[in-house]
A and B are shown apart, each in its own frame.
Chain A
Amino acid sequence: MIADRAKRMTQRLIRAAAACAITLLAGQSLAQSESYTIIAGRAVMPDGSLRENVAVEVRNGKIERIVEANRVSSNANVIRLPDGAVLSPGLIDLASSLGVEGSQVEQTRSIDPNVNIRDGFDPRAHVLRRALEAGVTSAMIIPAPTSIVSGRAATVRTADVGDASTTDGALMINVSSSAFDSQRGPTSRAGLLFELREALKEAKAKPASDSSPLARAVRGEQRVVIVCGTVEDIDASLMLIAEYGLDATLAITDAAIEMTTDLGDADAGVIFGPLDFNSSRRSLVLPGMLAASGVEIGFHGSLPGREPESLRTTAALAVRAGMDPAAARRALTSGAAAIAGVDAKVGALKEGLDADFVVFSDDPLRLDAKVLEVRIAGKRFYAASHDHTHHGGGAP
């Protein structure tokens, strides 16, 4: 079976390489036209705050410079956003299932680090378009956490921008009871932790040249996401992180409310959500408490099971329950990108990052803010039906 898979993967790789070569060439010509300057009355900065009168200079689909709006040279290719509109980095959904249908995880083994969710991703899935129109430009998709190590996540864009669309992501580790399986084991916490420890020990004993995912993880070269359910799960995870020096993010539940200080001390990011109108008070206050303890948070919108507005609804509910608004905006953008491991590419209005933008009619935390425009790698993929933007100079 493994041999077949390797063969299939090789074939896919060859096909992908060929496709890449073609799209790279096509991508070049695409990117060259994506050069302009956006002037926004308000913009969401990397620290999550709203800054006024910001100009973002885009060249070849990347952010070249951020300056004050009145410093823009007048002959630039200028797009002026309407009054009240807010320019934001594209929203990022974490631990998502966007574009991955059906069972995506091998169930035969409890530890299977070589599975890559990219193989199961369909870039033409309709839900991606729906998410894009709601302002979600990237999603960290994960193999379902039904085994202890279920493979690698990947971060995908919600539109096809050639080879830049997909990035390999974190290794998924699961210490919660959802990894239990009576057929193949483990069937208990003790059993689970034993197996995991054995695997990590084995990985640590490998030579520095070994490039298997777990070996790289214990060397700190491969990020991991650890899925937790209970407080004990978080405890065990923090111990493993300390013991093996893992570069980790924890996917948590509202049980974490009892451990906000420990999480703050541990310097691990967390993934949490979604919140809705039926959420318990514990869940509602948790993001605010974590942010106040200095924990970086990214939101899980549970897409596509829920509407993509679920991400902003989660943020709004967290803010109403006490979360600092800037922290909430980070949880949708720069914080989420850091957790997904793509903060060198997307997630913030910062020099050198791709021009993945959303123009909202107001602060994205306000649920009545409409999505006016969505751009990925500088190219406009969506504009609301009545065109609000005024174009100065030539249109991009």
Chain B
Amino acid sequence: MKKWTTEDTSRPVIRRFRPRIGALSAMTCALLASGANGQLFQQPTTVIENARIITMDGDVIENGSIVIRSGRIVRAGAGLTAPDRAIKIDATGLTITPGLIDAWGTLGLVARSTGGNPNEKSSDGFNGYDRDAITEAWRNGVTAVYLPAVGSPGINGIGSVMRLDVDRKFDRVGAVAKEDAALHIDLGSNLSPVRRIANFQGVRERLKQAIEYRDARELYFEEELPEYEKKIKERAEKEKKEEGEKKEGDAKPTPPTQDGGPPQRGGRGGGQQNNEDEIKKPNEPRLNQQAEVILKAIGRELPVRIAADRAEDILNALALKEEFGMTITIEGGAEAHLVARELAKAKVPIVLGSMVEDGRDRDAYRGLLEDNARKLEAAGVTWAIGSGGPSSYVLFNAQLAASAARDSDGLELVTSSAADLLGLDEHGRIAPGKQADLVFWSGDPRDPASRVERVLMNGTTVYERANDQGGSQP
């Protein structure tokens, strides 16, 4: 290489070396692009080795590896070789699954709202500092929860999906995976019959009022305002024209107005009688944020979850869908099996809650919770399951439902199925491109004797049993 001699010392160094810097950069890029020593400037890679991998995306991989980079799964398979500088996690004897997803849970929801406000978000009520509850969830493999917006009977707020990832800056847990997941409507299945009917009518009223509001605003923007502006414009043009005419006829005396008074501002000047109505500006219907949210639901931009346990309430929910055209999912559905045919016909999916005693008035719900899953499946209803409460045991709950339904697997219900229901494209499966939210189990996760040994969120360890002080499990 030519020696870098300076010809003109008055020029700044960098300018003289620019072409060489250019060459240097090009060489660096070439180096990076080459496969051999590409690690120099890349993100660190993590490789999990010697694991049994239940991908929920095909077969189970025995003695396999998962390559993770920047929190994403690059690939998973058997016989992969790890890059030299990768961080290695040995998972010999362990089974790895995607993190479990609770499609309907109340983990960390400590700030309960009074309800009734579609602008409230459930994610705001999530207490990310409740480490006890969250650690218990990790201990049972749960990594994401759909948080409903609960409050009072009627139209409530907006639910969201929360990932149990650690925000190290504030030392709290909670990363919103999906904001604005659904609008919540509670049909008050726990209420007395009269109050339930009143509540349902109230819901319909609110929906209708939202439509009226929309119509009023449409009328304003599409008719009234343009009409008004048109009239203003016409008048302005007319006045201009008359001004022009007036200028022309300045030599001529201005004919007196009929009534002798000064010419009216809004009236037509000149020789015309002016009893024209004042052009009134129409009132813009004030922007109603709550109604705007409801309209998004009606317009199918925002899905709707309707909490209904009694058969008649579920049928009412279907009637709402029929009348207003929303995309709905039933939540709860203790008596759904009684109206399974109607649900299947309307193609409305349902998220079931707890299969065990959960304080609901047993006498109020005919039929058996276990029968629900079996009969819904037989009728062709799309059903999913959450915990309906504290999320930790969502897999056990799903297993109870699966034991009754013929073609269901408890693990699938809380991984890939839950991800599909919630529209979480990057979770629920171990596949290239998915986020690395992974759980390491000491055995088959469906065996209660298995322990969670480690939880990765976005490729980083957030829980390790070896460091777990407060666990209930020895």
Contacts and interface: CB of A to CB of B under 8 A. Distances in A.
Interface of A: 130, 274, 276-278, 281, 284-285, 288, 302, 305-307, 309-310, 313, 315-317, 319-322, 325, 363, 365-370
Given A316-B396, A367-B396, A368-B399, A276 B357 contact: yes
B50 interface: no
12 contacts: A277-B358, A305-B357, A306-B357, A309-B370, A317-B448, A319-B448, A320-B140, A321-B472, A321-B473, A322-B473, A369-B403, A370-B404
Contacts of B400: 309, 313, 367-368
B449 A319 contact: yes
Nearest to B444: A366
A198 to B, nearest CB: 39
Contacts of B474: 288, 322
A320 B448 contact: yes
Contact of A307 (B357, B389, B396): B357
Nearest to A286: B472
B402 A368 contact: yes
Interface string B432-474: 0000000000000011110000000000000000000000111
Contact of B368 (A307, A310, A315, A367): A307
Contacts of A285: 472-473
B55 interface: no
Nearest to A315: B448
Given A307-B357, A307-B370, A367 B403 contact: yes
A307 B404 CA distance: 13
A277 B448 contact: no
B396 A313 contact: yes
Contacts, number: 90
Interface string B351-389: 000111111001000001110000000000000000101
Contacts of B410: 367-368
A278 B387 CA distance: 10
A284 B355 CA distance: 18
Contact of B446 (A307, A310, A321, A368): A368
B390 interface: yes
A306 B400 CA distance: 14
A277 B393 contact: yes
Given A320-B448, A368-B410, A307 B393 contact: no
A130 B399 CA distance: 19
A313 B356 contact: yes
Contacts of B403: 367-370
Interface string B308-342: 00000000000000000000000000000000000
Nearest to A292: B474
Q: Which of A274, A317, A367 has the most CB of B within 10 A?
A: A367
B472 A366 contact: no
B392 A366 contact: no
A316 B369 CA distance: 19
A325 B443 CA distance: 14
B397 interface: yes
A366 B358 contact: no
Interface in B385-442: 387, 389-390, 392-393, 396-397, 399-400, 402-404, 409-410
A-B residue pairs, 8 tightest by C-beta: A368-B399, A367-B399, A316-B448, A319-B448, A277-B393, A306-B357, A321-B472, A320-B448
Nearest to A130: B368
Contacts of A306: 356-357
Given A307-B368, A322-B473, A325-B448, 18 more contacts: A130-B368, A274-B357, A277-B356, A278-B358, A281-B136, A285-B472, A285-B473, A307-B357, A309-B355, A316-B396, A317-B396, A319-B449, A322-B472, A365-B449, A368-B400, A368-B446, A369-B403, A370-B403
B441 to A, nearest CB: 12
Nearest to A321: B472
Nearest to B354: A277
A236 B449 CA distance: 35
A274 B357 CA distance: 10
A317 B473 CA distance: 11
B390 A365 contact: no
B447 A366 contact: yes
B279 to A, nearest CB: 66
A347 B99 CA distance: 39
A307 B401 CA distance: 13
Contacts of A316: 396, 448
A322 B392 CA distance: 15
A39 B355 CA distance: 33
A307 B399 contact: no
B397 A277 contact: yes
A325 B449 contact: yes
Contacts of B387: 277
A154 to B, nearest CB: 25
A57 B66 CA distance: 49
Contacts of A288: 474
Given A367-B410, A368-B410, A310 B472 contact: no
A82 to B, nearest CB: 15
A219 to B, nearest CB: 40
Contacts of B389: 277-278
A307 B403 CA distance: 14
Nearest to A276: B356
Interface string B114-151: 00000000000000000000001000100000000000
Contacts of B473: 285, 320-322
A281 B399 CA distance: 21
Q: Which of B358, B403, B447, B473 has the most CB of A within 10 A?
A: B403
Contacts of A367: 396, 399-400, 403, 410, 448
A366 B368 CA distance: 20
A274 B448 CA distance: 16
Given A277-B387, A366-B446, A368-B399, A307 B358 contact: no
Given A307-B369, A309-B355, A365 B448 contact: yes
Nearest to A368: B399
A320 B474 CA distance: 10
Contacts of B472: 281, 284-285, 321-322
Given A278-B389, A321-B473, A322-B472, A310 B356 contact: yes
Nearest to A369: B403
A316 B449 CA distance: 8
Nearest to B413: A368
Interface in B52-78: none
Nearest to A283: B472
A261 B359 CA distance: 33
Contacts of A315: 448
B157 to A, nearest CB: 24
A19 B472 CA distance: 52
Contacts of B448: 315-317, 319-320, 325, 365-367
Given A321-B473, A367-B403, A368-B403, A277 B449 contact: no
A369 B448 CA distance: 12
Contacts of B140: 320
Contacts of B402: 368
A176 B225 CA distance: 77
A290 B255 CA distance: 111
B151 to A, nearest CB: 21
Given A313-B400, A367-B399, A367-B410, A305 B362 contact: yes
A278 B392 CA distance: 9
A363 B136 CA distance: 25
A310 B400 CA distance: 10
Given A277-B393, A285-B472, A365 B356 contact: no
A20 B359 CA distance: 42
Contacts of A319: 448-449
Contacts of B447: 363, 365-366
Contacts of B354: 277
Given A284-B472, A365-B447, A277 B399 contact: no
